[in-house]
Structure 1
């Protein structure tokens, strides 16, 4: 029989499987958390990898069974021996597969993946409060830095207002925060002073090459937030912890403003207090341990995966929620960070 050549888009078939999932750190024994697992059908692989990290390609049929016979993978047009690929250089690559079904050759769509050197995302923590008249100065500095680089992850930790968390004094004590506003870089380095936050202190190190990368994937189902974090490093992961925070944008409060009469301030003549001030990056919950869950020793170029779930309070606006994830050392200094909106997938970068 003459073979025919077919080419079709990879289809995603969602198969719903309900199972019980418990939070890694939260106790939900009183209320079972149900999550639907999505099974991808077609060509699957890690979308972004580190240099020299092995990338495995697989194809699954419409029943979710892996196709292992009579299948060939191609990267940038070259035939692979087996189903794995590595690159010692950064770049963007194309992959597709050919396999035989009942004497017909099936060709998957061509898809893209990347190989990267991780870039440093600086953790900026803003110790603040709506009562604090000088705190808008730090907000302005963060906004200015954010206009110049996207290599930052921001957390605003509120004190003595209705957005303050019970864990706030513990965090403040650990990092030696005694006044407001206070800024911290990568958790442990003091950023400037109450009225002066040098942008170069952040910009000079943001986006530097580092050896550790973080990916984030999350979804919300029935009021429960499910999070998967992956970490990989060019060196083995030893004496490292994983911090996962939930932050919210677009919270409206009145903000005390001591810069109302300062013509050099972006908050000049906005009132004291500023009515209906928009607060962003507000820490809403520590989904991990507040100072991080220990990452087991993990070999270089190997993915470490952690899964979490969290029961979202009804007053959280899901569309405004983001995750800030940090890999820290045992002294709580951040090695690297990543952030993503809830429901967004961010790969190694």
Structure 2
């Protein structure tokens, strides 16, 4: 199926060491835990996931929200560390707690877990398509075959000359030398040629990588706020960040040249296919 694009922005960015989530998708930024010790409320703040050799900062807030980190001692896996930060060249699971003096009382926070991980690579498939294009369901079928093998993909349909087309579509085709329909691109630059073998994607999806992206979004009425962060073991200051805003479940008629092809999943589905689901 196809995925409708609602917006695209190309943003030159400087490296942002954003906080990471408990999962490898880095979807959340901060993991804050509040503990009560002898009626003193303390908050130990630590990222749940970080990359190898990335600085991991620890913060303690007292019951009034004051930062008391400067006066605290932190223990990682039971060993006191110098300062309020930690890094590891090796992946693994760790535990941290902190201690500080509050008016003569030693306050010990709860022990919190965090991880040092290697992110997994997610592959972008861009499907250059159009509702008028009778051969375009071919790539839709190939994408479904890839989905059967891996979830480590992100799919974007870039429509031409139909109700889902956007003005910058022609610029994208010219920039990336897309000359016909359907056309597939893997990670923007690699041509995914007919018959669009799933292994071209599956063989590289989910492999270890040295960079990760975090994204948080919040919808308030008609306003969508998106916060994006990037972490990497390499210097990315010369790179660009591409943001897609997409919509699933868009229904349209789709010209279907495979209506009489028994080998196609779109066999006898009509030409055109009524209420073709664009995802």
Instruction: Tell me which residue corresponds to 1:51.
Output: 52
Instruction: Tell me which residue corresponds to 1:225.
Output: 224
Instruction: Tell me which residue corresponds to 2:85.
Output: 84
Instruction: Tell me which residue corresponds to 1:118.
Output: 119
Matches within 5 A, 1:260-271: 260-271=259-270
Alignment CA distance shift 1:64-1:159 (3 Å): farther
Alignment CA distance shift 1:262-1:24 (3 Å): closer
Q: Distance in 2 between matches of 1:221 and 1:62?
A: 31
CA RMSD of aligned residues (A): 2.5
Contact 1:126 1:183 in 2 (8 A): yes
> By how many angstroms is 1:188 displaced?
1.2
> By how many angstroms is 1:249 displaced?
1.3
Give per-residue Cα distances to partners, 1:276-330, cap 9 Å, x unaligned: 22211xxxxxxxxxxxxxxxxxxxxxxxxxxxxxxxxxxxxxxxxxxxxxxxxxx
Alignment CA distance shift 1:153-1:24 (3 Å): closer
Contact 1:130 1:254 in 2 (8 A): yes
Instruction: Tell me which residue corresponds to 2:24.
Output: none
> By how many angstroms is 1:175 displaced?
1.0
Q: Distance in 2 between matches of 1:93 and 1:174?
A: 46
Alignment CA distance shift 1:267-1:106 (3 Å): farther
Give per-residue Cα distances to partners, 1:217-269, cap 9 Å, x unaligned: 22223422222222222222243111111111121222222222222111222
Unaligned stretches of 5+ residues in structure 1: 1-22, 26-37, 281-349
Give per-residue Cα distances to partners, 1:145-177, cap 9 Å, x unaligned: 122122222111111111111111111111111
Give per-residue Cα distances to partners, 1:37-69, cap 9 Å, x unaligned: x99672222332111111001022344321235
Contact 1:253 1:279 in 2 (8 A): yes
- Of 70-79 and 148-157, more deviation after overlay is shown by 70-79
TM-score, normalization: structure 2?
0.78
Alignment CA distance shift 1:249-1:108 (3 Å): farther
Q: Distance in 2 between matches of 1:239 and 1:68?
A: 34
Contact 1:39 1:64 in 2 (8 A): no
Alignment CA distance shift 1:106-1:24 (3 Å): farther
Q: Distance in 1 between matches of 2:203 and 2:10?
A: 36
Instruction: Tell me which residue corresponds to 2:132.
Output: 131
Aligned length: 244
Matches within 5 A, 1:237-316: 237-280=236-279
Matches within 5 A, 1:1-349: 42-68=43-69, 70-193=71-194, 196-280=195-279
Q: Distance in 2 between matches of 1:56 and 1:230?
A: 16
Q: Distance in 2 between matches of 1:223 and 1:63?
A: 35
Q: Distance in 2 between matches of 1:174 and 1:260?
A: 33
Alignment CA distance shift 1:197-1:102 (3 Å): same
> By how many angstroms is 1:138 displaced?
0.5
Q: Secondary structure of the equivalent of 2:69? A: coil
